[in-house]
Amino acid sequence: MSGKRGPRSAEDRVRGLLIMLPWLMRRKTVSIAEMAQQFNMNEDDLIEDIEMASVCGIPPYTPFELTDMYIDEGFIHVGVNKQFDRSLRLSPSEAFGLELLAAAAQELPNFERRRELKSAVRKLRRVLRGGLVEVDVESSPFVSILTDACRTGERIAVKYWTPARNEVSQRILTSRTVFSDRGHWYVSADDSQSGERRTFRIDRIREAVPTGDFVEVIAENATVPNWFADAADKIVVIADVAPAATWVVETYPCTVLEERADGGFRIQIVANSAHWLGRLLLRAEGNISVVSPESMVQLQQQAAAEVLALYANSSGN
């Protein structure tokens, strides 16, 4: 483990301890000579590292929270150590999770520690010998513009696509907070079109242009809204979701009423329009069936018929 000469770096010493300590914890008492031979170290280096580890722990650094080990008459003795009761090697899924979190963190608006995070990921890659998966986190180009507008108070002219009506509208937004929920970025803003505070999904913004018009900045904490709760024409739907459409449960705010053995679900979901719900049912390709309300049970067939009619008309022209 200490194959090169010269002073050992702190990184090398810590890496070595993270490998040695779980091995030592399983044996409780080991001679210095045996452990030095096991890890190809000289005994002086091993003693120095064990002495360093013996004063490590977690707050409040009481004896119970320190690493319980000591050296006596040529033997290393250990007691109960909560921090090293299992191997600290990352599983592939744990490594992927760390990489995913790091990639997402670097996309956060105004994130100020990108350099340190990139350095940590590089070190993790060296330890895992390049075993991490490359993760590309998609982020709307307008996240930064709208986040800056929250800070400066500048109003932003946007073109916004509304899927429920399949139309693009022009409006002026006064950004108040930007937040992420269920894999999407949102902005809570004062909307010129409605005159109300609304929440907009940023990836549905087709254009965002600063107006040069500034208003008073209001400091607010980002809160995830109760989706569709205030929609005038909201529809509360009970639906059965087949295993092939579980992406619906993972993507949209809903309440799981029953989780089935085959991997399917019965859910309650709020739709802000019949048009939106019909599009969702078509995307699910028959893997979602509406249980209630009765008026929505045949919605998928109706939506499919409308799409076919549009297609026939366009073909005829």
Residue 178 above 80 pLDDT?
A: yes
pLDDT score of 107:
60
pLDDT, position 172 = 95
Lowest mean pLDDT among 48-62, 165-179, 271-285: 48-62
Q: Out of 80-89, 141-150, 184-193, which region has the weakest mean confidence (pLDDT)?
A: 80-89
Is 76 in contact with 32 (CB distance < 8 Å)?
yes
Decide if pLDDT at 301 tops 60: yes
Q: What is the distance between the alpha carbons of residues 131 and 133, in angstroms, rounded to a whole number?
A: 7
pLDDT at 195: 86
The rounded Cα 169 to chain-centroid distance in angstroms is 31
Query: Which residue has better confidence, 244 or 105?
Result: 244
Q: What is the pLDDT of residue 158?
A: 94
Residue 262 and residue 96: Cα distance in Å, rounded? 27
Residue 71 has pLDDT above 70, yes or no: yes
Q: State the Cα angle at 298 between 293 and 304, rounded to 5°.
A: 135
Contact indicator for 130, 167 with CB cutoff of 8 Å: no
CA atoms of 187 and 301, how far apart (whole Å):
35
Average pLDDT over residues 273-295: 86
Mean pLDDT, rounded, for 286-308: 83
User: Which range (122-126, 171-175, 227-231, 307-311) has the least confidence?
Assistant: 227-231
Q: Quick one: pLDDT at residue 2?
A: 47
**Interatomic CA distance for residues 141 and 260, integer angstroms:** 40
The confidence score (pLDDT) of residue 25 equals 79
pLDDT tier at 149 (50, 70, 90 boundaries)? very high
pLDDT in tens, 213-271: 999 888 776 666 655 554 555 788 999 999 888 888 867 777 888 888 888 899 988 88
Task: Using the predicted structure, report yes or no on whether residue 91 has a pLDDT greater than 70.
Answer: no
Those residues whose C-beta lies under 8 Å from the C-beta of residue 156, and which sit 6 or more positions away, are: 145, 146, 149, 172, 173, 174, 175, 208, 209, 210, 211
The first and second tokens of residue 76, run together, are 């290393």
- Top-confidence residue, 210 or 38: 210
pLDDT at 212: 93
The two three-digit tokens of residue 19, written as one number: 């490998």
Among 83-92, 123-132, 150-159, 289-298, where is mean pLDDT lowest? 83-92
Closest by Cα among 295, 289, 203, 275 to 244:
289
Q: What percent of the chain has pLDDT over 90?
A: 12
Nearest CA among 137, 141, 108, 152 for reference residue 208? 141
CA distance 15 to 127: 8
Calculate ∠ Cα 216-222-227, nearest 5°: 115
For residues 281 and 300, is the Cβ–Cβ distance under 8 A? yes
pLDDT grade, residue 155 (50/70/90)? very high
Could you tell me how far CA 217 lies from the centroid of its own chain? 29
For the chain, strand residue ranges (E) read 29-31, 69-72, 75-78, 154-162, 167-181, 184-191, 197-201, 205-214, 235-241, 254-259, 265-271, 288-292
Mean pLDDT for 9-15 is: 75
Which tokens in the block code for residue 180? 């992420």
Per the model's pLDDT, the better-predicted residue between 15 and 41 turns out to be 41
Question: What letter does residue 187 receive in the DSSP assignment?
Answer: E
**Residues ≥6 apart with Cβ < 8 Å to 303:** 278, 279, 281, 282
Residue 129: closest CA among 102, 162, 89: 89
**Residue 191: pLDDT over 60:** yes
pLDDT tens digits, 44-70: 888 888 887 777 766 555 555 566 777
Q: What is the pLDDT of residue 124?
A: 65
pLDDT at 18: 76
